[in-house]
Structure 1
Amino acid sequence: MTHTALPILFVPDLVLLPGMVVPVELDDASRAAIDAADAGSDGTLLVAPRLGDRYASYGVLATVERTGRLSSGSPAAVLRAGQRARIGSGTTGPGAALWVDVETVEDDAPVAEEAREHVRELAEDYKRLVVALLQRREAWQVVDTVQRMSDPSVLADAAGWASYLSDERKREVLETPDVAERLELLIGWTREHLAEVELTDKIGEDVRDGMEKQQREYLLRQQLAAIRKELGEGEPDGSDDYRSRVEAHPGLPEAVRTAALTEVDKLERSSEQNPEAGWIRTWLDTVLDLPWGTTTDDSTDVEAARAVLDADHHGLDEVKDRIVEHLAVRARRAERGLQVVGGRGSGAVVLLAGPPGVGKTSLGESVARALGRRFVRVALGGVRDEAEIRGHRRTYVGALPGRIVRAIKESGSMNPVVLLDEVDKVGSDYRGDPAAALLEVLDPAQNHTFRDHYLDLDLDLSDVLFIATANVVEQIPAALLDRMELVTIDGYTEDDKVAIARDFLLPRQLERAAVTADEFTITDEALRELAATFTREAGVRQVERLLAKTLRKAATRLATGSERVDVDVADLKDLVGRPRFTPESAERTAVPGVATGLAVTGLGGDVLFIEASAHDTHGDGGGLTLTGQLGDVMKESARIALTFVHAHADELGIDPAFFDKAVHVHVPAGATPKDGPSAGITMVTALTSLATGRPVRAEVGMTGEVTLNGRVLPIGGLKQKLLAAQRAGLTEVFVPLRNEPDLDDVPAEVLDALTVHVVGDVLDVVRGALEPAASSGSSTTSSTTSSDGERAA
């Protein structure tokens, strides 16, 4: 080490290490230092870094190679750094520069062989790291320079050129004279930087690969689009940009949006040749086409809604009241700011049960119009596949959502009126039970999370107004029936039919036949005759067909010269033919052993004649034969009736020898299956009539089941049966005592036309229904008094 006095030049934000040659911009202080070096130290000066406000304790001896100007015109000098030196105390010297005492620092080589070997190993490790870093940057010339360096100290001081080292770290290298320590510091820093470079390069490579893939796919898609355009096979707008469609959809629930984006990710990762891509597109189209978040505002005018229902349908007060009540509740909830749309259990499920032609389906359309909702009809008749309700799973080829989801999609809103037509005609087979699938749809406590197999998403059906229709309630599974509110539409009276024909059917048929009201008239008596003798139905479909036939005949007459056509009762035969139905009870019951019963079929109420006959067996003993396609219930009723008559033979005035004969009970129309618990008292009456030889009164009909001890059990469908009795021309009807409350539902005009006896004992039926023994063949009413009471309207 040697000491000498040298002018010092502090360089801001620059660290010179031995071996470096750099230009330095000159200011007054720098010029003074260089001038002092030229004047007093043979051109040598000490260059030390100044980082911020901190002055270094080490520097390097430097010589001035040349002076000149930078490209910017500023004066500069090129300095070559030499040996390390430690800065001592200040001293004096010529010129205006600052002079300091300088102690040079030699790079002492290790004495021991092990130490020298350790330094060489460190140098090789550092060189490998530097070369690897330079190769990543493809700096091949610098690589050759580094590999030619053999002096560990020179290799370490070459770090002054490393751009990845901060000035603070370079200053630390400058102030570390020991070569081994310098190399260890540099190895650690270089490894850190190399790891960062590798990670950055990997990320950059991945980004470049992704960009190249996207650019390649974009180019291929553009080419594919051009090819399809040339072939005339263009895709629909928006078929590719599913992600933006999902993200921009305003009404998608968050769970649905998440599921849709997951499918979009799969679609974007799959190739066009993957068949799953087509399934995903179809699923996304289905989901995006559903009216998520779209609802219609319900009308809150209760009086206007009732006016709409009254204008569309005659009568049907019970179902109209139910719809108006539903609307009134929603209107009050809206006034109080309570939740109206959606929510658990807020939906309504109404079952309209009744015979065909009474207006169940058209009533659903009127309800939608009254509420201001959209209407969609789902026909369930004959559906046997559960997937028709819940949808197919997406794994099947040609999978589709169920009819419920398709109905929501078709309606365009999440709160339509959905009419489930003919729900009693849903079947079941090996493909599942659609009625069981309907349980979740029609349960207000569950349908807020209805899950279709195809969508596999929760669909809120709680605000959908479901209206189901059925002809026979007994054919609906009990669990399904329990989830619906039953409203029965039992049929119309003759007065109702005349009013419906006048107000609804006739205007529609006039329009279809292109006949004006000035050219055609029909009297109310003629309409009543059409309903009474030309048809015998609970609804008005056949009446409308006859009106259409009448108007076609009228249109023909008008086209052949007639100015107008007026139809009265006498004109009906020429227009629609002879009457098809005439009262036949008197004819059928003219002989003993025939009784008139009342029944309910899928077409509404009807009269049912039960015939009994007996013949000698020539000593072979009596027996009971049943014909007429009777079900198990009616067969039991016949056996119970015979047993009861046998047990009460003395009370009924029957000769015991009668029971030695073979008895045959027949219910005509044998091609039609018949069953039900309402023919018991009719069979007792028919057998008693046969055994006593007293005919049943022609104007009497009856309905009710019987027990072995003669009690009359209640039955169902009383209103439909009484309507059928009135249509058939009966004037007296025996009904079970326990059905007396059901008479409140029967129209007043029907009760005015019928004398209804409520009975609890079958003997009262027999006494009131048979012709008196003293005057067989003449009718009397004195014997029709029931011990349990009578209700005659």
Structure 2
Amino acid sequence: MSDVLTLPILSLPDVVVLPGMVVPVALDADTRAVVDAARAGSDGELLLAPRLADRYPTYGVIATVEQIGRLPGGEQAAVLRAGRRARLGSGVPGPGAALWVEAEPVADEPVTEQLRGLADEYRTVVIAILQRRNAWQVVDSVQRITDPSELADLAGYAPYLTDEQKRELLETPDVEARLLRVLAWARDHLAELEVSEKIQTDVREGMDKRQREFLLREQLAAIRKELGEGEPEGSDDYRARVEAADLPEKVREAALREVDKLERASDQSPETGWIRTWLDTVLGLPWGEKTDDNTDIAGAREILDADHHGLDDVKDRIVEYLAVRSRRAERGMEVVGGRGSGAVLALVGPPGVGKTSLGESVARALGRKFVRVALGGVRDEAEIRGHRRTYVGALPGRIVRAIGEAGSMNPVVLLDEIDKVGSDFRGDPAAALLEVLDPAQNHTFRDHYLEVDLDLSDVVFLATANVADTIPEALYDRMEVVTLDGYTEDDKVSIARTHLVPRQLSRAALNTDEVSISDEALRRIAGEYTREAGVRQLERAVARVLRKVATKLAADDTPIHVEESNLRDFLGRPRFLPESAERTAVPGVATGLAVTGTGGDVLFIEATAMPGEARLHLTGQLGDVMKESAHIALSYLRSHRPDLVEALDRTIHLHVPAGAVPKDGPSAGVTMVTALASLATGVPVRSDVGMTGEVTLNGRVLPIGGVKQKLLAAQRAGLTTVFIPQRNEPDLDDVPAEVLAALDVRPVGDVAEILAHALERQDAVTQAA
């Protein structure tokens, strides 16, 4: 063990000095005291120790004061040369203001061949690092160092080591352990330098890549031009794909023309991207793919019956389509002249009657792929016909995209909400649909993006709409319209039991062992908690019941039975109750029937009179047609009922409630006549009577539309007698038998017949003049 020395200690903040290093130290008061003490009492030697933030030092270096002078900034400083390592001991008294401590120098270890090998390996790594930094003078110094301990301590100058790592070296007296540490750290740093250099090289090469590629392509183009042969990169792939694809002859010719353009064009030309995108789109369409239709007519009908209740008109039409296709296939007449059936069915009806879901059932029955195209709110003609290829971001139209999505050339395409297609400065999408839906034209449909003929004649198009009146006439003429007017209460109960309740049980994670809903409860939900033609609100009410059941089962797992008696606990008080008796309890109120976008509905028309000049005042957001009907009704009564002239020769106010809803249509004339007659006679209209029809100045009742929907609404409202125009009597064939059994439907040809039966006291109404 070496002799213990007594030296003044100088603690350097955030600086670690290793043996062999020469460092300048600014001479503040404390530092000067230590330097003066070293020069006076220890032959110029002192102990340098790092003072880092985490702990006190345990090792230091014995340094000598080489020189005292001034720094370039004019500040006094001392130059210290670090010598041997020393282990710090306890403090001892000493002369001057400096702190004196015991220092035990660390003896040098003998140099072995293993140490020399480690030293050589470390020297190689350090030189590689220095060469990357172009520090050639330092490289020469490193190469001259032969002592392994001195070489390891040279890491004190390394800028990539932290102060903690340097202190770790200072506190490692074993030379081999020191060399292993600095060798590992140097290798890690060298790897980081190599990665950094690679990134810099890649960035630099990337910046020059575009210019180099441009020059090379120009040279390659010039060479090919001189040789008259060769093709640009990638074009041969497109040519092979086009030749291998199962394309119609004219489509193949158009695709090969585009491949020729691609071969002649430079990759720098924007046209290259357009051509590649067009070729990808054409090759992505299923030109030769078709699914085989189901020829099992009975099986197809079973599928339709299982998926949907009622809707016999639609089911019959689909079965007829299948029957004809099956016979044509048997006789080799599948396609004649390139044209198929071109079937376009338009399902028109209020929301919730199953129009959209019927499309999937039709596809299942036919055995075809199904794809839905939502047209609600579409105002751009290019959405149907596609964009011209010259536009940035051009795409084919929705019809072509639907064919590609389906993966076959004969899918079932559902054009949803076709009555909500709009038009603006970008064109009229409804007009663009004419070619799509016309059976005489759609075998050569031409999309603006593809610019090739696309045969749509084998596609089954289904269109859905809430109101037929808003479908453009030319488009309406090209479709076979099937009206879905709504469901009776019996239908709703059956649909709820078969479809709605099982679906909502699954969504609420319930089963039939935990909850049951009686048919009486479902019937009351349909009649008193919802008022609609379809079953959408009914399903929401069932879902609400089941949510509350799930909540109760969380507290008590006793099975719950939802009955008519406890339905109020789940849904509260009924929202819809028959109000015809209350509304018609006073004279001047008549119950009419109307068709809205949500199906049939009852319409109350109120009339009152007040002193003043003879005039008619109308309110309730009435359209021109209904305003004319009101004037006709008043004129009819004044001209044909002399006994009522005096009562009507006043200011008459006729109002149709729900004034926030616009109303129009030629079916309220007879209701207005009845309301005015009730007002003039003072006799209320029977509360169980509803009516619909337009009236002329001579009292003739003209036919109207929507008879089935109006009769369904009358049944929902609790009416028992309904007057309809006599010329609408054939429409009763489409009305369900249970509705006709529940209603006394009376066809009439003259409004006087309605007045003779609609008022409560028939003797109060004289015969019409």
1:172-194 superposed Cα distances (whole Å, 9 cap, x missing partner): xxxxxxxxxxxxxxxxxxxxxxx
Structure 1 residues 343 and 214: alpha-carbon distance in aligned structure 2, compared to 1, 3 A threshold: closer
Shift of 1:264: 1.0
Counterparts of 1:550 and 1:341, CA distance in 2: 55
Alignment deviations for residues 603-654 of structure 1 (CA, whole Å, 9 cap, x no partner): 000000011111111xxx211111111111111101100100111222xx42
- In the alignment of these two chains, the number of paired residues is 549
- CA displacement, residues 302-337 of structure 1 (integer Å, 9 cap, x when unaligned): 011001001100111111010011001111111122
Matching residue of 1:397: 392
Deviation at 1:576, TM superposition (A): 1.5
Three-state SS of the structure 2 residue aligned to 1:566 is strand
Residue 727 of structure 2 corresponds to 738
Equivalent residue, structure 1, for 2:718: 729
Distance change >3 Å, CA 373–CA 211, structure 1 → 2:
farther
- Determine helix, strand or coil for the equivalent of 1:557: helix
Runs of 4+ in 1 over 6 A off after TM superposition: none
Aligned to 1:496: 491
- What is the distance in 2 between the residues matched to 1:672 and 1:240? 65
CA distance in 2, matches of 1:639, 1:521: 55
**How high is the sequence identity, in percent, across the aligned residues?**
73
* Distance in 1 (alpha carbons) for counterparts of 2:334 and 2:379: 37
Separation of aligned partners in 2, 1:502 and 1:724: 22
Separation (CA, whole Å) in 1 of partners of 2:222 and 2:387: 41
Query: CA separation of 1:239/1:704 partners in 2, compared to 1, >3 Å: closer, same or farther?
Result: farther
Q: Output the CA distance in 2 between the equivalents of 1:344 and 1:686.
A: 56
Give the superposition deviation at 1:241.
1.6
Amino acid at match of 2:369: R
Change (3 A) 1:275 1:730: same
Residue deviations 1:559-611, cap 9 Å, x none? 21222110001221111121110000001001111100000011000000011
Counterpart residue identity of residue 690, structure 1? L
Residues 691-770 of structure 1 aligned to structure 2 (within 5 Å): 691-770=680-759
Counterparts in 2 of 1:251-266, with a 5 A limit?
251-266=246-261
Residue 315 of structure 1 aligns with which residue? 310
Partner deviation per Cα, 1:104-140 (whole Å, 9 max, x = no partner): xxxxxxxxxxxxxxxxxxxxxxxxxxxxxxxxxxxxx
Alignment of 1:410 with 2:437, yes or no, is no
**Residue equivalent to 1:610:** 605
Which residue is 2:240 aligned to? 244
CA contact (8 A) 1:341 1:463 kept: no
1:679 equivalent in structure 2: 668
Q: CA deviation at 1:209?
A: 4.7
- 3-state SS in 2 of match to 1:690: helix
CA contact (8 A) 2:235 2:262 kept: no
Q: Are 2:486 and 2:712, in contact at CA under 8 Å, matched by a contact in 1? A: yes
Any idea what the Cα deviations from partners look like across 1:233-271, whole Å, max 9, x if unmatched?
xxxxx897211111110x200100110111111111111
Which residue of the partner structure matches residue 689 of structure 1?
678
Task: Give the aligned CA root-mean-square deviation in angstroms.
Answer: 2.1
Q: Which ranges of structure 1 fall in alignment gaps of 5 or more residues?
A: 1-205, 222-237, 777-782, 787-793
Question: Partner amino acid for 1:383?
Answer: V
For 1:276 and 1:304, how far apart are their aligned partners in 2?
A: 52
Query: Aligned partners of 2:315 and 2:763: how far apart in 1?
Result: 53
CA distance change for structure 1 residues 241 and 615 in 2, over 3 Å: closer, same or farther? same
Q: Give the distance between the partners of 1:549 and 1:209, measured in 2 at CA.
A: 74
Letter in 1 for 2:633: A
Quote the offset at 1:657 in angstroms.
2.5
Q: Which moved more, 1:343-352 or 1:326-335?
A: 343-352
Equivalent AA in structure 1 for residue 665 of structure 2: G
Amino acid at match of 1:458: D
1:671 Cα deviation from its structure 2 partner: 0.7
Question: For structure 2, which runs of at least 5 residues remain unmatched after alignment?
Answer: 1-220
Q: How does 1:660-675 map to 2 (within 5 A)?
A: 660-675=649-664
1:571 counterpart SS class = coil
Map 1:535-684 → 2, pairs under 5 A: 535-617=530-612, 621-650=613-642, 653-654=643-644, 656-684=645-673
Aligned mate of 2:457, from 448, 462, 468 = 462
Q: Give the 3-state SS of the residue equivalent to 1:537 in structure 2.
A: coil
Deviates more, 1:560-569 or 1:686-695: 560-569
Alpha-carbon distance between aligned partners in 2 of 1:586 and 1:341, rounded to the nearest angstrom:
62
Contact 2:334 2:340 (8 Å CA) reproduced: no
AA partner of residue 468 (structure 1):
A
| SS of residue in 1 equivalent to 2:567 | helix
Mapping of 1:177-576 within 5 angstroms? 209=224, 241-249=237-245, 251-340=246-335, 343-576=338-571
* Alpha-carbon separation, structure 1, partners of 2:265 and 2:352: 54
**Structure 1, residues 512-534: CA drift from partner, whole Å, max 9, x if none?**
11101111111100000000000
Amino acid at match of 1:409: G
Q: Kindly provide the amino acid, as one letter, of the partner of residue 560 in structure 1.
A: A
Q: Is the 8 A contact 1:423 1:470 kept in 2?
A: yes
Matched with 1:231 is none
User: d(CA) in 2 for partners of 1:240 and 1:332?
Assistant: 46
Give TM-score, length-normalised by structure 2.
0.69
Amino acid at match of 1:461: L
Counterpart amino acid of residue 512 in structure 1: R
Structure 2 CA distance, aligned partners of 1:297 and 1:318?
A: 25
Q: Distance in 2 between matches of 1:304 and 1:343?
A: 29
Contact kept? 1:607, 1:725, Cα under 8 Å: yes
Contact between 2:379 and 2:422, CA under 8 Å: does it hold in 1?
Answer: yes
C-alpha separation in 1, matches of 2:290 and 2:377: 31
Note closer, same or farther for the CA distance 1:493–1:536 as it changes in structure 2 (3 Å cut).
same
Distance 2:458 2:336 in 1: 6
Cα offset, 1:383, TM superposition:
1.0
Could you tell me how far apart the structure 2 residues matched to 1:493 and 1:275 are?
A: 61
Q: Structure 1 residues 276, 367: CA separation in 2 closer, same or farther (over 3 Å shift)?
A: same
